[in-house]
Structure 1
Amino acid sequence: MRDTVYFLAFEGFADWQAALALCEIRRPGDWQLRTVGFSMQPVVSMGGLRMLPELTLEQLDADDAALLILPGGHLWERRQSENALAAIARMHEQGVTLAAIDNAVLALARVGLLEGRRHTASWPGQIAMHVPQYRGHGDYDDRALAVADGGVITASHLGSVEFGREVIRALDLYSPMDREHWYRMFKLAVPPPWLGSGQAAA
């Protein structure tokens, strides 16, 4: 049963980018959320949070994985990130949805997952600058802050709320109407109906 969401944590990962998505994954209590690392050593996020991985990339098991979340960070611009590429490709091949935001989109480009698949990134030209073999220019959407296509979610560094909405949709959390209310609450500060007029005014 695929009931687990994996979050990749590494030294200097951008901790805020997937925060909304992670909170909504945990809220219903139906999903297990596990932290995966390049090793079992503790890592410190960009914001200074210390995190201890529960397993390594090599130990990822696609049989129970519904989603692998890849946050941004400077690591994706360096060769160190190549250690993750085989695991990312393997998880995708076995039907696991991949969700990458900001620089993590570069990893998906390096394993060829953006060609023939609608996608976005933080700014036009970002992917080609770091991934010479990138051939997905025709599928790049510069109008969207987050895009989901064919089991792959990509998002701009400015699209944390949109990224969260795509993750929520991929896991089929809430009804379509509630998902839209969730988005409007966090993006536009529009209180959802379930808050009630008294709480909204407060």
Structure 2
Amino acid sequence: MRNTVYFLAFDGFADWHAALALCEIRRPGDWQLRTVGFSMQPVLSMAGVRVLPELTLDELDIRSTALLILPGGHLWERRQSPELIDAVAHLHQSGATIAAIDSAVLVLAHAGLLEGRRHTASWPGQVALHLPRYSGEERYDTQALAVSQDRVITASHLGSVEFAREVIRTLDLYSPLDREHWYRMFKHATPPPWLGGQAVA
């Protein structure tokens, strides 16, 4: 049963990229949310928040994985992890969804998950700059802050709300109408009906 969402934490990860998505995943209580690391050592986010991974990549339960979330960070522009690239490719092949934002989209490119799929990143030349063999320019969406296709979610560093919306949709959280109200609230400060028309603070 695919009931687990994994979040990858590493030194320097951009903690705000997936914050909204993680909150909404935890809210209903229907999904297990676990933090995975390259090791069991504590890591510091870009904002200096200390996080202790619960397990390592090789301990992921592939059969229970519904979603793997990869936040951005300078790490992805300096080097890639063959272990993570293999894990991403394997998880996707097994039926899980992979969600990446900002420079974490490079991991998906290395794993071959952008080929033939509509996708985005933080700017049009971002992937090609770090991956010369990248040939997905014709499928790159310059108009969207987040894109979801065939169990692959990609997003710009400016699209954390859109990224969360795609994660929420993928996990079928809330009704379609409530998802739209949620998006309008966080993106445009438009109060949803359940707030009684009061302004959002």
TM-score (norm 2): 0.97
2:199 alignment counterpart: 200
Does residue 6 (structure 1) correspond to residue 6 (structure 2)? The answer is yes
How far residue 133 of structure 1 moved from its aligned partner, in angstroms, is: 1.5
Matches within 5 A, 1:25-174: 25-174=25-174
How many correspondences in the alignment?
Answer: 201
Q: Deviations over 1:28-72 (max 9, x none)?
A: 010110000001111000010000101111111111110000000
* CA contact 1:6–1:36 (8 Å) conserved in 2: yes
Matches within 5 A, 1:7-26: 7-26=7-26
How far residue 108 of structure 1 moved from its aligned partner, in angstroms, is: 0.3
CA–CA separation in structure 2 for the residues paired with 1:92 and 1:74? 24
How far residue 83 of structure 1 moved from its aligned partner, in angstroms, is: 3.3
In structure 2, the residue corresponding to 1:7 is in which secondary structure? strand
How far residue 79 of structure 1 moved from its aligned partner, in angstroms, is: 2.2
CA–CA separation in structure 1 for the residues paired with 2:84 and 2:159? 23
CA–CA separation in structure 1 for the residues paired with 2:82 and 2:12? 16
CA–CA separation in structure 1 for the residues paired with 2:64 and 2:192? 33
The 3 A distance-change label for structure 1 pair 87 and 201 is: closer
CA–CA separation in structure 2 for the residues paired with 1:200 and 1:143? 29
CA–CA separation in structure 2 for the residues paired with 1:81 and 1:186? 34
In structure 2, the residue corresponding to 1:200 is in which secondary structure? coil
CA–CA separation in structure 2 for the residues paired with 1:161 and 1:146? 9
How far residue 81 of structure 1 moved from its aligned partner, in angstroms, is: 3.1
Runs of at least 4 residues off by over 6 Å: none
Which amino acid is 1:104 matched to?
Answer: A
Q: Deviations over 1:4-47 (max 9, x none)?
A: 10000000000001000000000001011000000111100001
* Bigger mean CA deviation after superposition, 71-80 or 44-53: 71-80
CA–CA separation in structure 2 for the residues paired with 1:81 and 1:195? 45
Across the aligned residues of Structure 1 and Structure 2, the Cα RMSD in angstroms comes to 1.1
How far residue 78 of structure 1 moved from its aligned partner, in angstroms, is: 2.0
Unpaired runs of at least 5, structure 2 = none
In structure 1, the residue corresponding to 2:35 is in which secondary structure? strand
In structure 2, the residue corresponding to 1:174 is in which secondary structure? coil
* CA contact 2:12–2:46 (8 Å) conserved in 1: yes
Identical-residue share of aligned pairs (%): 75
In structure 1, the residue corresponding to 2:81 is in which secondary structure? helix
Which amino acid is 2:104 matched to?
Answer: A
In structure 1, the residue corresponding to 2:92 is in which secondary structure? helix
How far residue 201 of structure 1 moved from its aligned partner, in angstroms, is: 7.1
In structure 1, the residue corresponding to 2:128 is in which secondary structure? helix
Q: Deviations over 1:94-120 (max 9, x none)?
A: 111000000000000011110100000
Unpaired runs of at least 5, structure 1 = none
TM-score (norm 1): 0.97
